[in-house]
Structure 1
Amino acid sequence: MIGHSFGGTLAAAFSAREPRAVRGLLLLGAPVCFQPATNRFRDALVSMIPPDQSEADIIPGSLLSHASAFAAPDTFVWSRLMDAAMSIDDLRALDVHARVARWALDEAPLPGRLVHQIAEWLYRENQFCRGTLTVLGRTIGPSCLDVPTLATVNTADKVAPLASIEPLLDALPTKDASLIKNPGETALHCSTSESLQDGPSIIAWLAAHR
């Protein structure tokens, strides 16, 4: 199972709830642990979302994108412009950048209840990493995630920093857990350069675990 960005949190939770349903877990720049004061993006986002948010509303995908941009403008606005500028003389890199930008705009509305649970249970209370998240009657956490796991992290990323993934890897019962650190010069979340640099190592890991 492959998870990128916040989708990685859901992929990790599913893999912990149903470990027999997956052969391995690949987390690409995915924040999973949300301990306060370790992730500025998490702290900013939590401060913006009211605890008493209505669960009955439908939340537009564009609203979530704007909230992310407000919480981390360097990552979601300026670094993307920088990435485009640095790719301008490389047609292949520019094509990848355009595809990533198009993918990022593929927004879907979400139920208010889901957004509320994500904001409260995962971001505000860090339930999954603390091992107190209950899904379908079962309490899960890193100790339930007994599957081969590979995580990649850009050490300059402000949305998915090292502190948002290392505690998970340290708590896994499996001995088959690896971390690829990419010392990016800028916080290019889902950047072209990061994806190309880590590609061979990721493909080799997938081939070894298929």
Structure 2
Amino acid sequence: MTDTRKTALVIGASRTLGLGLATAYLRRGWDVIGTVRGSRHTGLHDLAETSGGRLTVESLEMTEPEQISALRDRLAGRTLDLLFVNAAITRGDIPIGEVPTDMFTEVMVTNALSPMRVVESLRPLVAPTGTIGVMSSEQGSIALNTEGGQDLYRASKSALNQLMRSYAARHAGDTRKLLLVNPGWVRTELGGPEAELSVEESIPGVVETIERHREPGLHFVDHQGQVVPW
């Protein structure tokens, strides 16, 4: 009997939004591979222990290119129906002229360059009809930036969006779906305690948005399925 279960790879699944995604896809009957940084025990490990073998935990420091290559080699032969990259850091609300160069580099490498390295490297594992998704943010929208603030974080997400746009143009004939997803303002370490949504309120919409998109090409959408202005 052929196993028809789908497989999702969630990059950055140790907690909050990434862990929520892994949990949601397990509940939908998918097999899930989730990555964590380092070797410490996380909520993803706890979830794996109750998954009946359907959740595999992999180690990945996304900012190290050789670790991305090693993960690709370990997953060789697997077919992914979904590759979703969830990773971002912020270093506070600092006017851009006061941001140290090393901080600028750290945030840009983590939030923009590294996710694209993952997409470029792991793309061959994604089924031709599969989906490649990256967690973006409304703060990456240039059109919606009417108040300023969070200069570096906004710039990193805008850079991520632009790089995905370039990726989509370079692979214009690809049949895979490409999504930049804004999860909403969520109460995470990054979003802060005053955010509007809990993880449990955001993630079901994120998953529905991912599953609802069937057209190839790049789409910038939010957790309610609405188009986000570039």
Report the TM-score range of the alignment, normalised by the length of the smaller protein. 0.3 to 0.5
Q: Could you state the TM-score of these two structures normalised by the residue count of structure 1?
A: 0.35
**Structure 2-normalised TM-score?**
0.33
Higher normalized strand content (fraction of residues):
2
**Structure in which a larger fraction of residues adopt helix:** 1
